[in-house]
Amino acid sequence: MDMLAQLLSLEVYRAFLVFARVAAALGFLPGFGEFAIPPRVRLCIALPVALALSPTVPGLPDRLPSDAAVMLEQLFAETVVGAFLGLGAKLFLAALQVTGGIAAQAVGLSSPFSSEATGFEGGTILSNTLGIAGLATLFATDLHYLMIDALVRSYGSWPAAALPDAGMIAGRFAQLVAQTFRLGVELATPFLVFGMVANLALALVNRVMPAMPVYFVATPAMLGAGMLVFLVSAGAMLTACLAALGGWLGGS
């Protein structure tokens, strides 16, 4: 009877370790960890996923820790790894928000009073559009399955119940922030060129005809031309961003 109780306790503890990593990741992953989704729903998603993955996870402890401090350390290690994976994937969708913010600034649609549809921070109409379109495309292309697969494969790079090196994980996260920010700026290149050319043209017109109200005349034209550029390039921006996300998940 004592042996059966120990086996049951060990299996429950091993499943809880997997649940800690899965729940931390799903709390931040795009689509699953959005602010519009209640925490209870995220936990209800994480529980069956953890139960399904726990029999296949290698390297789980083969005995219960004798010290509560060791148990807390293992749970903390799994939470850190899961949060890193979730936040890393989230940064690629944040790159779309950076692209939308730059595009809106170039077109003339930026406003400090607008809010982000996929978060609580400030946003623009174009960043909201790209964010929602990115989430829809993510699920339409079954990229969310790749997220679950990345969680399974993460045990090869981040062993179970082993606390990762703080300096290493901080360095990798800093590199990922720089990579995703650069991606967001690169995707907004058409709007950077458009804004530079349009403002240069307006400066020349204002120089030639000082009495002409350039701002009131040119604003509708810049808005229309900018929206045309957005319609033409939005599909390519979504494809490039999700391709970069898929590449990162495939190599994580």
pLDDT digits (tens, 9 = 90+) for 17-38: 999 999 999 989 998 888 888 8
Contact (CB, 8 A) for 197 and 93? no
Rounded-to-integer distance, Cα 179 and Cα 186, Å: 10
Q: Which of 1-10, 66-75, 89-98 has the lowest mean pLDDT?
A: 1-10
Q: Which residue has the higher pLDDT, 117 or 37?
A: 37
Burial of 184 from C-beta contacts in 10 A (0-12 / 13-18 / 19+): buried
Q: What is this structure's pTM?
A: 0.83
Q: Which residues pair with 122 in a beta bridge?
A: 115
Burial of 96 from C-beta contacts in 10 A (0-12 / 13-18 / 19+): buried
Burial of 8 from C-beta contacts in 10 A (0-12 / 13-18 / 19+): exposed
Q: For residue 245, what pLDDT is reported?
A: 93
Helix 214-251 / helix 143-157 crossing angle, nearest 10 deg: 50
> What is the rounded average pLDDT for all residues in the chain?
85
The single residue listed with the structure tokens 């890393």 is: 88
What pLDDT band is residue 177 in, cutting at 50, 70 and 90? very high
Q: Which of 59, 62, 100 is nearest to 81 (CA)?
A: 59
Q: How many domains in the chain?
A: 1
Residue 143 tokens, joined: 């990229």
Q: Which of 3-7, 15-19, 238-242 has the lowest mean pLDDT?
A: 3-7
Range 69-74 contact pairs with CB under 8 angstroms and sequence separation of 24 or more: 71/13, 73/163, 74/17, 74/161, 74/163
* Strand (E) or helix (H) holding 5: helix 2-26
Q: Which of 85, 210, 84 is nearest to 150 (CA)?
A: 85
pLDDT tens, residue by residue, 75-97? 999 999 999 999 999 999 999 98
Range of the domain at 169: 2-251
Rounded-to-integer distance, Cα 204 and Cα 210, Å: 10
Q: For residue 208, what pLDDT is reported?
A: 79
115 backbone dihedrals φ, ψ, rounded to 5°: -110, 160
Residue 152 tokens, joined: 């399974």
The single residue listed with the structure tokens 């899961």 is: 82
Q: For residue 114, what pLDDT is reported?
A: 56
